[in-house]
Amino acid sequence: MVVFMGSVVAWLALFLGYMFTVKGHAFNYTEALSKSLIFLEAQRSGKLPPNHRVPWRGDSGLDDGKEANEDLVGGYYDAGDNVKYGLPMAFTVTTLAWSAIAYKSELQSAGELEHVQDAIRWGTDYFLKAASRHDRLYVQVGDPEKDHRCWVRPESMKGPRPVLEINDNTPGSEIAGETSAAMAASSMVFRRFDAPYARQLLNKAKMLFEFAKEHTHTFDGECPFYCSFSGFHDELSWAAAWLYTATHSGTYLKYIVEETVPAIVDEFNWDLKFAGVQVLLSKSFFEGTHELHTFKEHADSYICAALPESPYHKIPMTPGGLIHLRDGANLQYATGASFLFTVYGDLLKKFNQKIECGGRRFESTHLLAFAKQQMDYILGQNPLGRSYMVGFGKDPPQQAHHRGASVPLSEANSDVDCGMSFTRWFNKNAPNPNELTGAILGGPDKKDKFSDLRWTSVYTEPCTYVNSLAVGPLARLTRPLKKL
């Protein structure tokens, strides 16, 4: 009898476990959230603080800015290389700040609010240095061409670190606009914790916005790695939308209503922010700013284009159900959609709204379920049954395309030239010696296939903004399932 009961209990436990892991796809979202933020620490440049959590990283780029007689120490490396690019760095910070604003209580309950704030401040401290002079903004440190011919960890970089800037003669509305958005959004995060710092950020945000719209021009200095394909109109609207959200000033509302180009888009990423503008401004519309109704309509159109059950759905998906727009950091499109669906879903719920796509009605729960499904795919609920986050879940990737993670510490100081560095550390079909914990990699191809090789960078390279966009949805998912 005891044996019988025991086996019933065992079977029951197995069955429930199956239901929970396979049907409920219950991942440990707190762990995924926590690890996402650890990855951002691995991307830090500059002098690392004592509480730094990635044991194999050290100080780097301590002379950054010297070429221009400036202090540009700090900030983030964007991906697997050692260059500091202004545009994606600012977008990373803007989206982190948005997550910290929208999901503050979830982050707090998960014990991660401080880590998010630290991650934001690591960026904004750097932007304050980059924007310390009124007539310019430093937008890049490092030479991408040379950097890409050398496979060394940032701690061992040798050679010049050229600096790029935008100014009155070489303007760049995308980067100035995005940096303005990052500063404005971050000012809201720090308002209650560090008011003087928040004011400093907001002032810079205002100045950068003026600069961005006075000289409207595309800066192509970050090409071919971060060329703006979508132009600067989205960054100008995005900056104005964040400034309006942070200040409620009529000046920015006027700009938004009169100058913003209406746009229907179906993706959200470091280059294209219209969908973010629409979702962000929908909140003000729901709160009573009627002038913003077109933004709410366009946010609905974005959802209708991305939601698989919608008759207007047009985003390419893999057979396994993942958004797949293009190889090369493709998971940014999944985390980007997941983020906006989460935020917009919660807004619809809070303001008791539904949306319609071609006569079909969708409720907040549809949006939140889609956001969850994209995150679950990344964490392991996919045809290959593997995780795309390093150090998380089942069968996670071993060969992230990442310099720091792939050079063993024991060889860190060996005298290896750039040519040799590829033979020694890059072209080696073996797991990285250092775990790039929490990095969400480029992800699978359009048929759900994945190649876990360091040199297939379209699948294995991580990017800061893939992760920053995952923070909001993961924080939201730490709430108990039934509260979805």
Ligand X SMILES: *[C@@H]1O[C@H](CO)[C@@H](O)[C@H](O)[C@H]1NC(C)=O
* Nearest-approach distance from CB 172 to ligand X, in angstroms: 40
* Among the listed residues 204, 205, 172, 186, the one whose alpha carbon sits nearest the alpha carbon of residue 85: 172
- Angle CA 469–474–479, to nearest 5: 145
Instruction: Provide the token pair at 262.
Output: 């209406």
* Nearest-approach distance from CB 112 to ligand X, in angstroms: 10
Instruction: Give the DSSP H or E segment for 406.
Output: helix 403-406
* Nearest-approach distance from CB 277 to ligand X, in angstroms: 34
Sheet holding 84-85, edge to edge: 84-85, 136-141, 163-167
* Nearest-approach distance from CB 286 to ligand X, in angstroms: 34
Whole-Å CA distances, 181 to 47, 88, 207: 26, 12, 11
Q: Which lies closer to ligand X via its Cβ, residue 31 or residue 452?
A: 31
DSSP 279-327: HHHHHHHHTT-GGGHHHHHHHHHHHHHH-TTSTT--S-B-TTS-B-S-S
Cis peptide before 224 (omega within 30 of 0): yes
Provide the annotated active-site residues. 401
What residues pair up with 361 in beta bridges, in sequence order? 356
What residues pair up with 357 in beta bridges, in sequence order? 360
* Nearest-approach distance from CB 76 to ligand X, in angstroms: 24
Interface residues toward ligand X, by CB under 6 A: 28, 30-31, 34
Distance CA 222, CA 139 (A): 9
* Nearest-approach distance from CB 55 to ligand X, in angstroms: 17
For the chain, what's the residue count? 484
Q: Which lies closer to ligand X via its Cβ, residue 391 or residue 397?
A: 391
Place of tokens 């703006």: 228
Q: Which lies closer to ligand X via its Cβ, residue 21 or residue 167?
A: 21
Furthest-apart CA atoms within the chain: distance in Å: 86
Distance CA 313, CA 324 (A): 13
Q: Which lies closer to ligand X via its Cβ, residue 113 or residue 357?
A: 113
Q: Which lies closer to ligand X via its Cβ, residue 300 or residue 376?
A: 376
CA 413 to chain centre: 32
Q: Which lies closer to ligand X via its Cβ, residue 30 or residue 373?
A: 30
